[in-house]
Structure 1
Amino acid sequence: MNAVSNNKEAVGERYQLETMRHAQQMTWKAIDQIARAITPGMRESEAQAQGKTILAQMGMDRIWHPLLVRFGANTLKTFKQRSEGDPELGTDDIFFIDMGVVWQGHEGDAGATFTTGSDPQMIACAAAAKTLFDQVEGFWRSEQVSGVALYDFAAAQAKAMGWTLNLDIKGHRVSDFPHAIHRGGDLGNLAQYPNTGLWILEIQLAHPERPFGAFYEDLLI
Structure 2
Amino acid sequence: MTAINKEAVGLAYSLQGMLHAKRKTWEAITQIAARIQPGMLESQARTLGLEVFAELGMDRIWHPALVRFGENTLKTFKQRSEGDPVLGDNDIFFIDLGVVWDRHEGDCGATFVTGNDPEMQACAAAAQTLFERVRDHWSEHKVAGPALYRYAEEQASAMGWVLNLEIKGHRVSDFPHAIYRAGDLGNFEACPNVGLWILEIQIAHPTRPFGAFYEDLLV
TM bracket, shorter-chain basis: over 0.9
1:200 aligns with 2:198: yes
Cross-structure match for 1:145: 143
* Matched position secondary structure for 2:37: coil
User: 90, 96, 101: which is aligned to 1:103?
Assistant: 101
* Alpha-carbon separation, structure 1, partners of 2:216 and 2:19: 11
* Alpha-carbon separation, structure 1, partners of 2:53 and 2:87: 21
Cross-structure match for 1:45: 43
* Alpha-carbon separation, structure 1, partners of 2:116 and 2:91: 9
* Alpha-carbon separation, structure 2, partners of 1:33 and 1:185: 31
Any gaps of 5 or more consecutive residues in structure 2?
none
Cross-structure match for 1:62: 60
Any gaps of 5 or more consecutive residues in structure 1?
none
Count of residue pairs the alignment pairs up: 217
Query: Cα offset for 1:6?
Result: 7.1
Q: Look up the equivalent residue of 1:148 and give its one-letter code.
A: P
| Displacement over 6 Å in runs of 4+ | none
Cross-structure match for 1:174: 172
Query: Cα offset for 1:89?
Result: 0.2
RMSD: 0.9
1:24 aligns with 2:39: no
Cross-structure match for 1:120: 118
Report sequence identity in percent.
Answer: 68
TM-score when scaled to structure 1?
0.97
User: 139, 158, 161: which is aligned to 1:160?
Assistant: 158
* Matched position secondary structure for 1:107: strand
Q: Look up the equivalent residue of 2:201 and give its one-letter code.
A: I
Query: Cα offset for 1:178?
Result: 0.1
Query: Cα offset for 1:54?
Result: 0.7
* Alpha-carbon separation, structure 1, partners of 2:9 and 2:163: 30
Query: Cα offset for 1:154?
Result: 0.1
Q: Look up the equivalent residue of 2:182 and give its one-letter code.
A: G
Is the Cα contact below 8 Å between 1:6 and 1:182 reproduced in 2?
no
Query: Cα offset for 1:143?
Result: 0.3
Is the Cα contact below 8 Å between 1:11 and 1:176 reproduced in 2?
yes
